[in-house]
Amino acid sequence: MEKVWSHKPLLVFGIALSFFYPTVGLGQSDNIFEGLKVTLCGTSSPIPAPGRAQACVAIETPDHLFIVDAGSGSAATAQLANIPQDKLRGILITHYHSDHISDIGDFNLNSWVAGRQAPLLVIGPEGADRVVDGLNMAYELDRGYRVAHHGADLLKPELGVLQSRVIEEGIIIEQDGLRITAFEVSHPPIEPAYGYRLDYGGRSVVISGDSLVTEKIIEISNGADVVLHDAMALQLVRGAESFARGAGNDRVATVLHDIQDYHATTSDLNRLVDEAAIGQLALYHLVPAPRNAMAIAAFTNGVPDGAIITEDGMTFSLPSNSELIIID
């Protein structure tokens, strides 16, 4: 499997530019990539990390755009990465923790403004309809204000209303060469929680969502070009728990203790690469996301050789019918 690292400059003043240049930030682009393009729009967890949004992955083909999860800050990251939101087909939700759903409303608005041609579909396990009904109610006033201000010709009111689809494990979408498979993961006490595998043009990407390494993930990751997996640096979380308890903050210490048994530890991921043939393992939903060289060293201790700790804005481009992985 050939891998190529590319480097591109940061988009400076991206927010300001988006107000003046329609191809920056509004998610419209004339660049068509034939293959699967994966963009990390959020790589952090509920533990805040500067420069990182919460969990979100964008997957593009020439005809499709799907978002997997929509954590806080990820919609802005997607805009700055110039994700073409006019072709957004749906948001695939792994589970309903707040750090995976809090930016659904912003993705709905941004893709509506960009010119999405159908209502945005929120796809996920049991509960998707309840989440969507609540969001539609919460944003009802906002939708009315924007239609009144910009006009129904620009913002068709029916396209601002989210729709839901409750799914079960298995192939959930197969259209125009794209196949999306939902598979159950282990994130107790949440049942079911899902991960997703997307196949297009002979290429594939697996997104674990929040999960331990399981037999199902090993099975579905086998042969995948890129696997994005939840990762926890157990030693860092234990250190933070000890510090919080020593400082008398038992509430935070308890939360830090409780999260240690439902995320994959960096050393556990060795089992995944040992038992599944994977082109590239990349770690996201980082618990906690490392902030300095010392934390990076601690996080990478025990990580499988060649695994990548992702950053917001990183892309994996998989040209159709090829073995090339372009990492930008």
Length of the chain: 328
What CATH class is the domain 3-8+31-327? alpha beta
Average pLDDT for 129-145: 98
pLDDT score, position 30: 55
In whole numbers, what is the pLDDT of the chain averaged over residues? Answer: 90
**pLDDT higher than 60, residue 106:** yes
When comparing pLDDT for 140 and 25, which is higher? 140
pLDDT score, position 287: 87
Q: Which of 293, 327, 292 is nearest to 310 (CA)?
A: 327
pLDDT in tens, 192-220: 999 999 999 999 999 999 999 999 999 99
pLDDT score, position 29: 52
Q: Which residues, at least 6 apart from 325, have a Cβ–Cβ distance to it below 8 Å?
A: 1, 2, 3, 4, 225, 226, 279, 280, 316, 317, 318
Q: What pLDDT band is residue 20 in, cutting at 50, 70 and 90?
A: very low
The two counts, helices (H) then strands (E), for the chain are 10, 16
206 by DSSP, 3-state: which?
Answer: strand
**pLDDT higher than 60, residue 10:** no
**pLDDT higher than 50, residue 22:** no
pLDDT score, position 166: 98
**pLDDT higher than 60, residue 125:** yes
pLDDT score, position 244: 85
Q: What is the largest CA-CA distance in the chain?
A: 60
pLDDT score, position 18: 45
Q: What pLDDT band is residue 291 in, cutting at 50, 70 and 90?
A: confident
Give the Cα separation of 31 and 245 in Å (integer).
52
Instruction: Locate the DSSP E strands across 79-177.
Output: 88-92, 121-124, 163-166, 170-175
pLDDT in tens, 166-196: 999 999 999 999 999 999 999 999 999 999 9
**pLDDT higher than 80, residue 140:** yes
End-to-end CA distance of the chain: 16
Average pLDDT for 218-240: 91
pLDDT score, position 293: 85
When comparing pLDDT for 27 and 320, which is higher? 320
Q: What pLDDT band is residue 11 in, cutting at 50, 70 and 90?
A: very low
Q: Which residues, at least 6 apart from 319, have a Cβ–Cβ distance to it below 8 Å?
A: 33, 34, 35, 201, 203, 326
Q: Which of 287, 318, 240, 286 is nearest to 3 (CA)?
A: 318
Q: What pLDDT band is residue 9 in, cutting at 50, 70 and 90?
A: very low
**pLDDT more than 90, % of the chain:** 73
**pLDDT higher than 50, residue 19:** no
* CA-based torsion, 274, 280, 286, 290: positive or negative: positive
pLDDT in tens, 56-80: 999 999 999 999 999 999 999 999 9
Per DSSP bridges, beta strands 280-287 and 226-232 are parallel
Q: Can you give the residue ranges of every domain in the chain? A: 3-8+31-327
